[in-house]
Chain A
């Protein structure tokens, strides 16, 4: 069917239905046609991908599993490419890559063309699941491109965790981890992603949500791994009463580079969004945050908040923060703020004067910095996981 197909591509396409293979093919054509993002593109201005050649990562694989305690009526939780694509084409086809669109740029096209599986979760109308659903994406090889599609029916309520685990070590690798989240009318979805790839990874993740009338999304992004990580976290509020809470914590050390782009897209009125990205940087790490609140013309009585706080722990770490607003309606409340700064010397002095050694004091201050936002992680399991991971990294 495909003339440009390499044996490798054929291998990953194996066992997939035609519609999906064709979708991949179209995305792959886009990938070959689109130029590599360059520093003249606003979204990539501060992102250095000069050392990246995606075609160098020739072995694609993924080992994933997802689990859910107990059975629920009509709930579908299946492997994306092998099961869901065949069993639930009607539910999956119109949604897959409709939010995280391949035409956006070359990196997104590559992900759509060669994604290596992932999970599909469909929760029907009115179903409430108490225990969190956990998706684990493990990678043991050079390239891994998992994808998650979550569909929350009307009035459904559940929590989901995507955990990206590297078992390949620190060698140079290519990773993506994207999620498309459809929050139906009145549904309430908690979504947490924890990225802890190895220190040799290039990571690209697009998390995009669409929230309908009275729906609530609580998204929490945790970025810890990779040598390079670029995340786009975006929520479109398309029905009145829709709410999106977008939170993130990141801890960058060594030579890590993290880049975040966020969008709070208020398409209609009476919608609420609340964003808080908090990061700590040490050693020679660099982070970039660029976020936009967009309030469309008719989106009156919208309420949007956006904040980015950076705690710079070392002299050589660097943080860039660009919180942007585009407001097209006057009957709104929009506030944003950004800070970049070191540990407050008064706080340090307080702890030191009570006999606490400097390293412990610093650690306590970092824990305090993250503490406020950790409390907002929507469910216990994820909170415990993130606390443990942070603990291990603070050393």
Chain B
């Protein structure tokens, strides 16, 4: 990489987008690799303030210094120099429907995903009809003072609010991948809910479809002011096809006094993706943070949504399911960091491994000195569907506080013979009976989802069980 700034092709819509003009004879081609020039270019293309450019560059340095994590999944195969760190939307839609892998198309068929939605999910199209829905919703939200934007626009439109909270929950130096995200982030959602406002409709990234909401390095920031409530839903049950091999997001959430936030994820990346995500929330006095986290796709996922219980009465909840099929490793779990007294947390994890897949629960409960009279309970259940698959449990429980109660329970089993026998003796074929048992096993998760997601998830599990996909 040369040290001189590279010429840039600004594209035909550049003036409309960014409000100034650069001569056309510059040529910008997205380049692979990671270096300060690329980071500067990303920041420049987005027209960011100087502090953000500096923030990105500093994060890149931190990324360079941090060693690769050696615990968990094998990440040594990731080649950071062979990745596009920033593609403009126009460059992203270079694929055609025909190029899609057959199993992805088949899954769309079986799930009954509408044509337009399929194309969007497959990355063939960036347009989706839900824009109409989004506009009417946006009107309602604005009336209440709620801000719901993509993160890039939020930086432009609400610079002060943005700067006050950005990077405060997950600093770049938190881990290697949060540093990477901080250097090259693009897209994601920004939500601000004012004091006492309840947002009744779950906000979905889906609604804002032509913004870059499902990028490789998206960055989400949610602020729930005192006494407010919001439910945010990320992802969808249908597989999202991408040719990018690395997805590394950062999600920061601040839940202030008496507020409640629920963040639901259904991750179903195609099975070529390394999904390495840092998600963390800070919950203040009597606030509640709930992570509902489903991991179905990707080749490797490492994701441990966490809640820092900062003030008395704060409550944290993680409800997580993982499904690992052939060649997949789901290393998921949760973290509860009790900093203040009288805080409570629960983690419930359900995992299913099939056809050589591997699921790992990895969790950390930490009760710092002073987090007295706190309670935490962790329950992990794993279901192994055949003898090729694997399940691990790595719960770390550190108690440095007084008068606390901490419990952890885990079981690993196969589909119970008694249950199978019961169903089969009533004339239900074996495969169907197994699917019913698996659906029953993850029911505590499904029942927390909005109906349309729950229905699709059940159908998806059925497909996975038949072995017809993946």
Quick one: which of B353, B391, B395, B397 has the most chain A CB within 10 A? Answer: B397
A-B contact pairs, 20 of them (CB 8 A): A42-B71, A312-B403, A315-B402, A315-B403, A316-B402, A318-B398, A318-B399, A319-B399, A320-B396, A324-B394, A326-B390, A327-B412, A330-B389, A332-B412, A333-B412, A333-B413, A334-B413, A338-B407, A338-B408, A340-B405
Stretch touching chain A among B94-102, B282-290, B328-336, B379-387: B379-387
**A330 touches which of B71, B386, B396, B398 (Cβ 8 Å):** B386
Which residues of the partner chain B approach A12 to less than 8 Å between Cβ atoms?
A: none
A322–B396 touching, CB < 8 Å: yes
**A324 touches which of B395, B403, B406, B407 (Cβ 8 Å):** B395
Does any Cβ of A come within 8 Å of B24's Cβ? no
Residue of B nearest to A336 (CB): B410
Which residues of the partner chain A approach B402 to less than 8 Å between Cβ atoms?
A: 315-316
Does any Cβ of A come within 8 Å of B414's Cβ? yes
Tell me the B residues contacting A by CB distance below 8 Å.
71, 353, 372, 382, 384-387, 389-400, 402-414
Quick one: which of A315, A316, A338 has the most chain B CB within 10 A? Answer: A338
A327–B410 touching, CB < 8 Å: no
A337–B387 touching, CB < 8 Å: no
A246 to chain B minimum Cβ distance, whole angstroms, is 18
Which residues of the partner chain A approach B411 to less than 8 Å between Cβ atoms?
A: 334-335
Chain B binding surface, main DSSP class: strand
Q: Say whether, besides A335-B410, A336-B410, A327 and B395 are in contact (CB < 8 Å).
A: no
A322–B397 touching, CB < 8 Å: yes
Quick one: which of A312, A330, A342 has the most chain B CB within 10 A? Answer: A330
Residue of B nearest to A344 (CB): B405
A337–B71 touching, CB < 8 Å: no
Q: For window 278-334 of chain A, which residues contact chain B by CB distance below 8 Å?
A: 297, 300, 312, 315-316, 318-334
Report the Cα distance A322→B396, complex, angstroms.
5
Which residues of the partner chain A approach B385 to less than 8 Å between Cβ atoms?
A: 330
Q: Say whether, besides A334-B413, A336-B409, A328 and B395 are in contact (CB < 8 Å).
A: no
Which residues of the partner chain A approach B407 to less than 8 Å between Cβ atoms?
A: 337-339, 341
Q: Say whether, besides A330-B386, A331-B414, A332-B412, A324 and B393 are in contact (CB < 8 Å).
A: yes
Which residues of the partner chain B approach A342 to less than 8 Å between Cβ atoms?
A: 403-405
Which residues of the partner chain A approach B382 to less than 8 Å between Cβ atoms?
A: 325, 327
A44 to chain B minimum Cβ distance, whole angstroms, is 14
B387–A327 touching, CB < 8 Å: no
B335 to chain A minimum Cβ distance, whole angstroms, is 14
Residue of B nearest to A337 (CB): B409
A320–B397 touching, CB < 8 Å: yes
**B410 touches which of A46, A297, A325 (Cβ 8 Å):** A325
Q: Say whether, besides A318-B400, A334-B412, A328 and B390 are in contact (CB < 8 Å).
A: yes
Chain A binding surface, main DSSP class: strand
Q: Say whether, besides A312-B399, A340-B404, A323 and B387 are in contact (CB < 8 Å).
A: no
Q: Say whether, besides A324-B395, A325-B393, A325-B410, A330 and B384 are in contact (CB < 8 Å).
A: yes
Which residues of the partner chain B approach A320 to less than 8 Å between Cβ atoms?
A: 396-399
A337–B399 touching, CB < 8 Å: no
B380 to chain A minimum Cβ distance, whole angstroms, is 9
Which residues of the partner chain B approach A341 to less than 8 Å between Cβ atoms?
A: 404-407
A314 to chain B minimum Cβ distance, whole angstroms, is 8
Which residues of the partner chain A approach B391 to less than 8 Å between Cβ atoms?
A: 325-327
B171 to chain A minimum Cβ distance, whole angstroms, is 22
Residue of B nearest to A306 (CB): B410
Report the Cα distance A318→B397, complex, angstroms.
11
Interface string of A166-204 (1 = CB under 8 A from B): 000000000000000000000000000000000000000
B452 to chain A minimum Cβ distance, whole angstroms, is 32
Interface string of A337-354 (1 = CB under 8 A from B): 111111000000000000
In the complex, given contacts A321-B408, A323-B410, A325-B410, what are 9 additional A-B residue pairs having Cβ atoms less than 8 angstroms apart?
A320-B396, A322-B395, A323-B408, A325-B391, A330-B385, A334-B412, A335-B410, A340-B405, A342-B403
B399–A340 touching, CB < 8 Å: yes
A329–B392 touching, CB < 8 Å: no
A contact residues, total (Cβ < 8 Å): 32
Report the Cα distance A225→B103, complex, angstroms.
62
Leading 8 A-B pairs by shortest Cβ distance: A330-B384, A315-B402, A325-B393, A330-B414, A334-B412, A341-B405, A338-B408, A340-B406
Residue of A nearest to B409 (CB): A337
Which residues of the partner chain A approach B393 to less than 8 Å between Cβ atoms?
A: 323-325, 336
Report the Cα distance A150→B402, complex, angstroms.
42
Which residues of the partner chain A approach B396 to less than 8 Å between Cβ atoms?
A: 320, 322
Quick one: which of A316, A319, A324 has the most chain B CB within 10 A? Answer: A324
B371 to chain A minimum Cβ distance, whole angstroms, is 12
Quick one: which of B390, B408, B414 has the most chain A CB within 10 A? Answer: B408
A315 to chain B minimum Cβ distance, whole angstroms, is 4
Interface string of A37-51 (1 = CB under 8 A from B): 000001000100000
Which residues of the partner chain A approach B410 to less than 8 Å between Cβ atoms?
A: 323, 325, 334-337
B225 to chain A minimum Cβ distance, whole angstroms, is 35
Report the Cα distance A42→B397, complex, angstroms.
14
Which residues of the partner chain B approach A316 to less than 8 Å between Cβ atoms?
A: 402
Which residues of the partner chain B approach A333 to less than 8 Å between Cβ atoms?
A: 412-413
B68 to chain A minimum Cβ distance, whole angstroms, is 13
Residue of B nearest to A345 (CB): B403
Which residues of the partner chain B approach A327 to less than 8 Å between Cβ atoms?
A: 382, 384, 390-392, 412
Which residues of the partner chain A approach B400 to less than 8 Å between Cβ atoms?
A: 318
B394–A339 touching, CB < 8 Å: no
Report the Cα distance A315→B395, complex, angstroms.
23
A329–B403 touching, CB < 8 Å: no
Which residues of the partner chain A approach B389 to less than 8 Å between Cβ atoms?
A: 330
Which residues of the partner chain A approach B372 to less than 8 Å between Cβ atoms?
A: 315
B186 to chain A minimum Cβ distance, whole angstroms, is 34
Q: Say whether, besides A312-B399, A318-B399, A320-B397, A325 and B405 are in contact (CB < 8 Å).
A: no
Residue of B nearest to A294 (CB): B392
A288 to chain B minimum Cβ distance, whole angstroms, is 9
Which residues of the partner chain A approach B404 to less than 8 Å between Cβ atoms?
A: 312, 340-342
Which residues of the partner chain B approach A324 to less than 8 Å between Cβ atoms?
A: 392-395
B416 to chain A minimum Cβ distance, whole angstroms, is 10
Residue of A nearest to B382 (CB): A327
Report the Cα distance A334→B361, complex, angstroms.
15
Report the Cα distance A335→B414, complex, angstroms.
13
Which residues of the partner chain A approach B403 to less than 8 Å between Cβ atoms?
A: 312, 315, 342
A276 to chain B minimum Cβ distance, whole angstroms, is 14
Which residues of the partner chain B approach A335 to less than 8 Å between Cβ atoms?
A: 409-412
